[in-house]
Structure formats: C-alpha cells, structure tokens
Structure 1
C-alpha cells in the first residue's frame, strides 16, 4: 500500500512541476490539445464514450469473477 501512495505522490509532484514549467512558458492545456487536433469538448466526449463502454463491461465481468473468487476464497484451506 505504501508503494501505491508513494507512486501517486511522485506522479502528483512530477505533474505539478511540469505544469509550473508549461505555465511559465505560457502554454495552456487548450493550446496543447489544439496542437494535436482536439478540443476540450471532444476530449470530454471521448471520456464519456469510454466510460459508457467500460462500465457495463466491468459490471458484466464482475458478475462472473466475483462469485468464482468468493467460492475459491471459501474453499481455500485455513492458514496456520
């Protein structure tokens, strides 16, 4: 768990430093998106489409995986 928190903190600090440098160079997120041919609205639409596809598949998969995991967990021999 400590590794996960450490990784999240490192990513956050690296993102903060990168954002500060880009801000000092007067580069905005909208400008970066424009350079690659996207708009903030299109990015939001793509995120919505991705979530609309992923959430039903996650629910469907969990309906199979969770009962299998539960049975395996219950039938596992006790630890000493």
Structure 2
C-alpha cells in the first residue's frame, strides 16, 4: 500500500522540480508569482497558520474516534487473513 504512495510522491517531486527549473529559466520568482495573484509573503504565512490552527484540533478529534475503532477492528479480525 505504501509503495504506490511513494511512487506518486516521487512523481510529484520530479514534476515540481521540472516546473521550478522551467520557471526559473523564464525568470519567474516565487515573490513575483505571489504578487501577481495578490498575496504578500506575510499574508501567505498568516493563511498557513490559520489553516494549521483549524486542522490540528479537527485532526486530533477525528483521531480520537478513528484510532480506537481501527484498533478494535484489527484485534477482532479473523486469524490468518492477510491485509494484502
């Protein structure tokens, strides 16, 4: 299950690197791109902080439900079954 995820992650990293090289060759910088969309570096950082402040409580609340349910399912599944 992790293998396809890692393969996809590597593909995204390579595509991002290629796009970054092309944009750098064209003289486009991250600050210029953010200014073009109407964002400043400070505003982008503030949006990231707000997103994290929203996501962490919801993530921990969801984990308090999902992890015990997953553990119970894992404990009570029939022996000898492979998860593959």
Same-fold status (TM-score > 0.5): yes
Aligned to 1:46: 47
Which residue does 1:66 correspond to in 2?
Answer: 67
- Give the alignment's TM-score, normalised by structure 1: 0.89
Aligned length: 80
Query: What is the Cα deviation at residue 20 of structure 1?
Result: 1.0
Give 5+ residue unaligned stretches, structure 2.
none
Question: Unmatched 5+ residue regions in structure 1?
Answer: none
Question: TM-score, structure 2 length as denominator?
Answer: 0.85
Hey, which bits of structure 1, 4+ residues long, moved more than 4 A? none
**Equivalent in the alignment of 1:18:** 19
Task: Give the SS at the match of 1:27.
Answer: coil
